[in-house]
Structure 1
Amino acid sequence: MRRFGRFELRALLNKSTRSMLWLVHDSRHGQEMLLAMPRQAPNSEAAMAHWLKTAHAGARVQHPNLAHVIEVGRVEQWPFVAYDRALGETLDERLARQPAPTPLEAADWVCQLLEGLAFAHEAGHAHRDLQSSYLLIDAANKVRLAGLELAQEVFPAGVDFNTVTRRAVRESAEEDVLCVGLLLHRLLSGRAVLEQQDLQAAVQQMQPLGKELVRLGWETPHPIPEPLRAIANRATDRQARQRYHLARSFLRALDGWRTAAAYDQGGPIALLMDKLQRIGHLPASSGKLHRIGQSSSLEGQHASELSSLVLQDMGLSLELLRRVNNALKQQGVTSGGTVLNMQRAIAMLGLNGLQQAARSLKPWPGPLGEVQAALLRSLMTRVHRAGMVAQALRPAGYDGEVVYLITVLQNLGRLLLQYHFADDAQQIRQLMQPGEATEDNPNPQGMSEVAAAYAVLGCDLNALALAVARYWALGEEVMHMMHRQAPDAPVRSAEGDAELLRLTCSLANELIDAQLLPEAKRQPAIELATRRYARVLGLGLRDVLQALHPEQARQDGDAPFRSAGVAIAEASFSAPLPTEPGTLDGDAESMAPRDGAAPLPKASTLRAKLGGKPPEETS
């Protein structure tokens, strides 16, 4: 039997370029242990002293997901760290028995690993040789990470170890996080990454150090959900700037998906619901909101004036929708459908209900700082502008308030993200930006919004919005209309009122997104969006340009537009929303056909339900 000091060497469990892990028998204590040691011994007594000092400091870091160290010592020139074998089997041993864990099991193991690793990084320590054999899993699937501060870098004798070590810790921590991403790929794909058992060897082959690209393939032992696939691919992205740099960020995304997948309403959705209870969905944004709290200023006003005043404040508009539809649900009223009309909502709640809703909102900007509040204001301005464009593009005979509010609801996920998860919103925007062009990748592409949200939150923004809409009792038809048409999905047909309104609002949102592009790309993006929706909605480029630039349309009259490269005019929330005559009041003049247009359709059942009226009233 080979020996290492007092230890009998029984099996070599891991050998990488930086370290080794042995299964040994401790003759002194009469038990099996795991013995970890570096592949390269310290090159001087000063280096040995520094190695032992750092290893002892790492052993003092206590966390449920970090393996407890039994002993830190040396045998001649070789230092070692000993762990109790009773902590469990290594991940390699588990995979030999269970080669294909489910995605949920894999995510659970990696989340536990990230918990311990994040704690160690925040304590100022790194692993530097994170391999699958250093993950110890017991019978209850409890994961512990061993080998902390094992593979220390070997510096020339006589250097200031404290200085060079502090400088290297951050880079080593980022490398640890990348190795966790490679480990997740191995668990999900069921095979070694780049055919390398040593994760450090795989790192050396990846861009930018090497030329290899690591992405999760489609031939996997189990189907991989899209959010999990996006998280895994971001962890090993070809561009280093797109990867997770902190173990805590990686944990946040993966744990968000794991919790949502296991409990359906967990992760970021559960956190969002908690925030809704404490600080509401959006803060009050209108400077005239104080008027709503004064009953004397409201009693003599017409319903259309109150409605216009409410629509100036996006947070108050959504609060009234929440209150009126929750009230209908609690009363068991189902025949009238969802109310998406401010006049109807105000009539049902009364002035007292309107005042209570106004007082329940947090004053601007809520808990946000100055910069975050400015970003939220800018986003609300764009959403408001999209609502105005949707009103201008809506099919004849449809209520402008309903179209405006559907457009707002299609952006509900973005609004909630910016207000409640401002840091995550910033991270998502960064992932959507293309990286710098290189010789290998001359036309880099940023992530889509969906993929970036998956990579940061573990769920997409639409899931956040639908969870809130369901909580507000907005109904299945409204939740269907909240789904924006995907930019890369073809627009084939609009069967029914709900689909027609959904596509109209989707087009308006795409046009506003196109207006935010650089000037050279703006006009082609507008024309592309128009061509996608033209046949289904019966719209042309002239209609779109008139909706985007109504002031120029009024100045030019019937003359053709000369240019579409005009920047968006920033809409003010302190001014009433522009409306066509009679749109909110429903007078007969506004229902007359436009010149040259087909006669307006008869009021539909859907529009009646959205206005809160029983279907028989429109027959």
Structure 2
Amino acid sequence: MSETSPVASPLRTFGRFELRALLSKSARSLIWRVFDARHGQELMLCMPREKPNSAPALEHWLRMAQAGERVHHPNLAPVFEIGQVENWPYVAYDRALGETLDERLARQNAPLPLDAAGWVCQLLEGLAFAHEAGHAHRDLQTANLVIDANDKVRLIGIEVAQEVFPATVDFTAVTRRAVRESAEEDVLCVGLLLNRILSGKPVLEERDLQHVVQQMQPIGRELVRLGWETPHPIPDPLRAICNRATDRQLRQRYHLARSFLRALDGWRQAAAYDNGGPVVLLLDKLQRIGHLPTTTTGMHRFTGGAGMEAQHASALSQLVLKDMALTLELVRRVNNALRQSGHAGETILNMQRAIQMLGLDGVQLAANSLKPWPGPLQPVAAEMLSQVMARTTKAATIAQALRPAGYDGEVVHLITVMQNLGRLLLQYHFPDDAQQIRQLMQPPEPTEDQANPPSLSEQAAAYAVLGCDLDALGAAVARHWGLGDELLQMIRRQPLDGPVHTPRNDADTLRLTCSLANELLEALALPEAKRRPGVEAVTRRYAKPLGLGLREVMEALNPGAHRPGQAPAPAAAPAAAPGSLRNRLAGRS
């Protein structure tokens, strides 16, 4: 069969088919638009670039194609026919399914990023199903996506590009190329497809994605990243997802179509709807298993009896604050009670005040509503959650030490915890995703060209795994709990790439103080050689806006270190104006 261009004579035939146009030609396969006179309709024929080199090879090809035909999914095109002409095997699909992505891009070269993500999500749905059924594509090209008038995407060509074995091979003794290896290459090609659609031009100026794969690291030397000159602005989360899919480091890429789909669909839903993607999944889990598991047992021993005198409120609040799950549950309950009683503008973040408002029975009910440690977590994931909670508690302790005079220590503690809410919930409800994010934040292996390659930031890694950042997760839950707008503003950390300005009000002061504490804790987690410079860099960032120096920061990190045996005296709290934010958060009138 000769290879012709789309302008070739329409009289050429392939068996009973009239060849009308060559839709795609790659190193591994061909796609023809043909007319089937027997059925009076147009079809698309997918066939291997090389004819099977023996009768057993042809039989093996047909057997694998027929097995792929039995895999049914809405995003996998139904097969019209499988056959052969003079030992050339083919899989036929109905042309009425739609146009190829190549044809769509020829008339609509710059689809919106949201539309592109929707197409690729549908492709990943079908591809993931095929992979899980034990099949691979092995030659994903833009022509293998068929899109109808309603933007429904279907994949054609499963099991068309099969392995080429020597003519003398015994197929009963040869093991097929591992589906997992082929599937990972399929997922890489989906990333290249996404890059192609978003950039508006062929990747590395190559139309055959297999040629691109061969040029990419680690096989070749080329880097594939989404450029900045694109037909439409690309949101940072989508850019991170696209770049992760084609990362030069194999371990950084998506290895499963489902993982890629999870991140891309998470971004797509979050971009299209206010509370989409992972936020919806998280809120559903909150309803079923709660926010965090409790670490306290026997709370009734502290709340039982004839009642609690006023002088005991402080001791009980300190006990509650040691249990992060119970702390958050009391915050949720007391502020929900405020809202239901018509005080929607108020927020209580002082634990003593929350306990007084809910009463001992209310505290006991809150404690009973929580799942015992470690909830549904396996031991390794439970240990990781314990570490995240310990770091959050340490950050809260640092924030309390750095708070300006006059600010309630419990309020500062709780805002610091709330600034870590997304991280805590991620580790409890999506431990596998949390592990992926940590792995992406590890520096890549150095190369000759890059001796000290940069690692992904937490935000970029979260984008690549979830499609949204962790602050967005925490803020969505706080909004779901009905916490006020002022608190929603305070629980968003100061952006790492943004300047720190002098606070204009109490809310700014609280947010920056807690952000400083969280950044200091992250600096302490750096390798020893970078730890001190990291602390100093963070201190310089906040020094002028908060009026703090390195001495105060070092004292907060190491209490009493500069004055052995002497605890720092608590700062006197000046009288605050009635109705000020610091009073309202503490529950004082």
Q: TM-score range by the shorter chain?
A: over 0.9
The residue aligned with 1:123 is 133
* Separation of aligned partners in 1, 2:49 and 2:389: 57
Q: Secondary structure at the match of 1:392?
A: helix
What are the Cα deviations for residues 136-183 of structure 1, in whole angstroms up to 9, with x where unaligned?
111221111000011112012333546655443221111110111111
* Separation of aligned partners in 2, 1:517 and 1:218: 31
* Separation of aligned partners in 2, 1:355 and 1:295: 12
Contact conserved, 1:500 with 1:537, CA < 8 A, in 2? yes
The residue aligned with 2:402 is 393
> How far is the alpha carbon of 1:74 from its aligned partner?
1.2
Contact conserved, 1:90 with 1:132, CA < 8 A, in 2? yes
Overall identity of the aligned pairs, in %: 69
The residue aligned with 1:135 is 145
- Runs of 4+ residues deviating >6 angstroms: none
Within the alignment, does 1:83 sit opposite 2:93 as a pair?
yes
Letter in 2 for 1:59: E
Instruction: Choose the corresponding residue for 1:205, options 212, 215, 231.
Output: 215
> How far is the alpha carbon of 1:298 from its aligned partner?
4.8
* Separation of aligned partners in 1, 2:530 and 2:300: 42
The residue aligned with 1:24 is 34
Q: Secondary structure at the match of 1:231?
A: helix
Please identify, of 435-444 and 412-421, the stretch whose mean Cα deviation from structure 2 is larger: 435-444
Contact conserved, 2:26 with 2:208, CA < 8 A, in 1? yes
> How far is the alpha carbon of 1:297 from its aligned partner?
7.6
Q: Secondary structure at the match of 2:211?
A: helix
Q: Secondary structure at the match of 2:24?
A: strand
Contact conserved, 1:292 with 1:355, CA < 8 A, in 2? no
Within the alignment, does 1:493 sit opposite 2:493 as a pair?
no
Instruction: Choose the corresponding residue for 1:469, options 468, 478, 499.
Output: 478
> How far is the alpha carbon of 1:275 from its aligned partner?
0.7
* Separation of aligned partners in 2, 1:300 and 1:495: 36
The residue aligned with 1:371 is 380
* Separation of aligned partners in 2, 1:48 and 1:358: 67
The residue aligned with 2:115 is 105
Instruction: Choose the corresponding residue for 2:583, options 601, 605, 608.
Output: 608
The residue aligned with 2:449 is 440
Letter in 1 for 2:582: R
Instruction: Choose the corresponding residue for 2:165, options 150, 155, 159.
Output: 155
* Separation of aligned partners in 2, 1:117 and 1:295: 62
Instruction: Choose the corresponding residue for 1:7, options 17, 40, 46.
Output: 17
Instruction: Choose the corresponding residue for 1:451, options 454, 460, 464.
Output: 460
Please identify, of 215-224 and 108-117, the stretch whose mean Cα deviation from structure 2 is larger: 215-224
Within the alignment, does 1:191 sit opposite 2:201 as a pair?
yes
> How far is the alpha carbon of 1:355 from its aligned partner?
1.1
> How far is the alpha carbon of 1:295 from its aligned partner?
4.6
> How far is the alpha carbon of 1:38 from its aligned partner?
0.8
The residue aligned with 2:332 is 322
> How far is the alpha carbon of 1:53 from its aligned partner?
1.0
What are the Cα deviations for residues 270-313 of structure 1, in whole angstroms up to 9, with x where unaligned?
11111111111111023454535635585686211121111111
* Separation of aligned partners in 1, 2:171 and 2:553: 66
Within the alignment, does 1:239 sit opposite 2:249 as a pair?
yes
Contact conserved, 2:145 with 2:156, CA < 8 A, in 1? yes
The residue aligned with 2:3 is none
Letter in 1 for 2:586: G
Contact conserved, 2:29 with 2:46, CA < 8 A, in 1? yes
- Change beyond 3 A, Cα 1:353–1:525: same
The residue aligned with 2:369 is 360
Instruction: Choose the corresponding residue for 1:425, options 414, 421, 434.
Output: 434
> How far is the alpha carbon of 1:64 from its aligned partner?
0.9
Contact conserved, 2:241 with 2:264, CA < 8 A, in 1? yes
Q: Unmatched 5+ residue regions in structure 2?
A: 1-10
Contact conserved, 1:284 with 1:316, CA < 8 A, in 2? yes
* Separation of aligned partners in 2, 1:295 and 1:159: 83
* Separation of aligned partners in 1, 2:152 and 2:66: 24
* Separation of aligned partners in 1, 2:173 and 2:442: 36
Contact conserved, 1:295 with 1:351, CA < 8 A, in 2? no
* Separation of aligned partners in 2, 1:210 and 1:297: 74
The residue aligned with 2:7 is none
- Change beyond 3 A, Cα 1:163–1:89: farther
- Change beyond 3 A, Cα 1:538–1:161: farther
What are the Cα deviations for residues 179-204 of structure 1, in whole angstroms up to 9, with x where unaligned?
11111111111111111111111111
* Separation of aligned partners in 1, 2:561 and 2:571: 24
* Separation of aligned partners in 2, 1:7 and 1:237: 42
* Separation of aligned partners in 2, 1:230 and 1:68: 33
> How far is the alpha carbon of 1:488 from its aligned partner?
3.2
What are the Cα deviations for residues 318-360 of structure 1, in whole angstroms up to 9, with x where unaligned?
111101111111222145x211101111111111211111111
Contact conserved, 1:292 with 1:354, CA < 8 A, in 2? no
> How far is the alpha carbon of 1:512 from its aligned partner?
1.2
* Separation of aligned partners in 1, 2:47 and 2:233: 38
Instruction: Choose the corresponding residue for 1:214, options 214, 217, 224.
Output: 224
* Separation of aligned partners in 1, 2:455 and 2:369: 39
Letter in 1 for 2:435: Q
* Separation of aligned partners in 1, 2:396 and 2:116: 43
Q: Secondary structure at the match of 2:207?
A: coil
The residue aligned with 1:310 is 320
- Change beyond 3 A, Cα 1:440–1:51: same
Letter in 2 for 1:222: H
* Separation of aligned partners in 2, 1:222 and 1:542: 48
* Separation of aligned partners in 2, 1:206 and 1:251: 22
* Separation of aligned partners in 1, 2:105 and 2:323: 56
The residue aligned with 1:230 is 240
Contact conserved, 2:576 with 2:583, CA < 8 A, in 1? no
- Change beyond 3 A, Cα 1:130–1:219: same
Instruction: Choose the corresponding residue for 1:534, options 543, 547, 564.
Output: 543
Within the alignment, does 1:546 sit opposite 2:555 as a pair?
yes
Q: Secondary structure at the match of 1:302?
A: helix
Contact conserved, 1:293 with 1:359, CA < 8 A, in 2? no
* Separation of aligned partners in 2, 1:151 and 1:509: 52
- Count of equivalent residues: 578
Letter in 2 for 1:532: R
Please identify, of 404-413 and 436-445, the stretch whose mean Cα deviation from structure 2 is larger: 436-445
What are the Cα deviations for residues 55-89 of structure 1, in whole angstroms up to 9, with x where unaligned?
11111111111111121111112111111111111
Within the alignment, does 1:71 sit opposite 2:73 as a pair?
no
- Change beyond 3 A, Cα 1:591–1:130: closer
Q: Unmatched 5+ residue regions in structure 1?
A: 559-579, 582-589, 594-599, 615-619
Contact conserved, 1:482 with 1:502, CA < 8 A, in 2? yes
Contact conserved, 1:396 with 1:601, CA < 8 A, in 2? no
**Which structure 2 residues correspond to residues 291-310 of structure 1 after superposition, within 5 A?**
291-292=301-302, 294-295=304-305, 298=308, 302-310=312-320
What are the Cα deviations for residues 506-565 of structure 1, in whole angstroms up to 9, with x where unaligned?
11111111221221111111111112112222222221121111153452659xxxxxxx
Q: Secondary structure at the match of 1:233?
A: helix
- Change beyond 3 A, Cα 1:512–1:162: farther
Contact conserved, 2:303 with 2:361, CA < 8 A, in 1? no
- Change beyond 3 A, Cα 1:292–1:108: farther
Letter in 1 for 2:110: A
Q: Secondary structure at the match of 2:365?
A: helix
